[in-house]
Amino acid sequence: MKKTNKKVILAIILISYFMILLDNSIIFTGTVKIAAELNLSQTTLSWVTNAYSLTFGGLLLLGGSIGDIIGRKRVFMIGLTVFAVGSLLVGLANSAVMIILARAFQGIGSAILAPTTLALLMDSFSGEARTRAIAAYGATAGIGASIGLVIGGIFASLLSWRDGFFINVPIAIIMIGLTVLFIPTTQATQAKRLDLIGALTSIIGMTALVYSLVGQQGRLLALLVAVVAIATFIWQEARTKQPMMPLRLFADCERLGGYIARFFYLGAMLSMWFLTPQIMQTHLGFTPLQAGIGFFPLTVVNFIVALQVSKLTTRFGNTKLLIVGIATTAIGMGP
């Protein structure tokens, strides 16, 4: 494959991933305007985000597994289509029920796109190029979320929060066209079969777990269902010949540490991105645009540091760099 094609493939992956992040950030800065326009209570407003989290978290493993079975390029285009339709429906929403259902549909698209973008990246790059690509992917996560807050503020203040979702439609169409032209079709794993029990228990387990955290009623029951379903999922993955999530992935201590660190780190950051823009607007008198701009210094620093990650990793190693990053974030979020 030509080097120029590699750059185009990376651009397709990063832009598609950025689109997911941008969408969530627009929700964060637009929540006050959304609540006012659709007459949503604080509880109902939280479900605009919760509905997305339920389908995204519940279907994430299944979304990644399907790519191994029917081919990642095909699944990637399906994910783009679902996400674009979901974005259109969110932009057209005129009631609480419609926007919550549309956000749930968006979550399905994200659950397909998120693991597939990373899988395409791993398939397309190797060696030093993969390290740089992963650094760019990680940088997109931080920069996309931060810039999304600024863009969301611009839409909510100067245009409409709906435009932030409508813009995903042409972007997705362009990405689908570029995918057809530049991303090679990989053969699906012929011997791979869908782990139906694993898929079902993972969906039930993750959905119940998320609901136990964000639901209003029956949270304890949801937690018990989550524990049983996740335990059954682990048992199934340990005994089946073709697991959707091989448990050997967790045998490597370095990889396991990375999973745990990313889990807690993203949990903290998403909470900050969800709550801080609302506090700025409801308690400090910021407009949505001012709230978004308030995150801009974070974006600038994130961008500068992200460009150096590959070099710093080579010089100091992953562990030291990870510790410094987490410690710096903790200091920044402290009182």
> How many domains is the chain partitioned into structurally?
1
Nearest CA to 89 out of 34, 32, 166 is that of: 166
Please report, for residues 12, 146, 158, the alpha-carbon distance to residue 78 in angstroms, rounded to integers and kept in the order given.
Answer: 15, 27, 33
What are 153-207's pLDDT values in tens digits? 777 777 888 888 898 899 999 999 999 998 887 665 545 677 788 888 888 888 8
pLDDT band of residue 18 (cuts 50, 70, 90) is confident
Q: How many CB atoms lie within 10 A of CB 81?
A: 15
Tokens for 59? Answer: 């279907």
Q: How far apart are CA 30 and CA 90, in angstroms?
A: 13
Q: How far apart are CA 227 and CA 225, in angstroms?
A: 6
In a domain, 230, yes or no: no
What are 251-260's pLDDT values in tens digits? 888 778 878 8
Residue 114 identity (one-letter amino acid): A
In a domain, 168, yes or no: yes
CATH code where residue 89 lies: 1.20.1250.20
pLDDT band of residue 88 (cuts 50, 70, 90) is very high
What phi and psi, each to the nearest 5 degrees, are found at residue 217?
A: -130, 150
Q: How far apart are CA 234 and CA 243, in angstroms?
A: 10
Enclosing domain of residue 153: 3-194+244-333
DSSP secondary structure code for residue 270 in this structure: H
Cα-based angle 318, 322, 324 (whole degrees, multiple of 5): 125
pTM summary value: 0.76
In a domain, 238, yes or no: no
In a domain, 215, yes or no: no
The answer to whether residues 50 and 199 touch, using CB atoms and an 8 Å cutoff, is no
In a domain, 205, yes or no: no
What are 288-335's pLDDT values in tens digits? 777 777 777 777 777 777 777 777 777 887 778 778 877 887 777 765
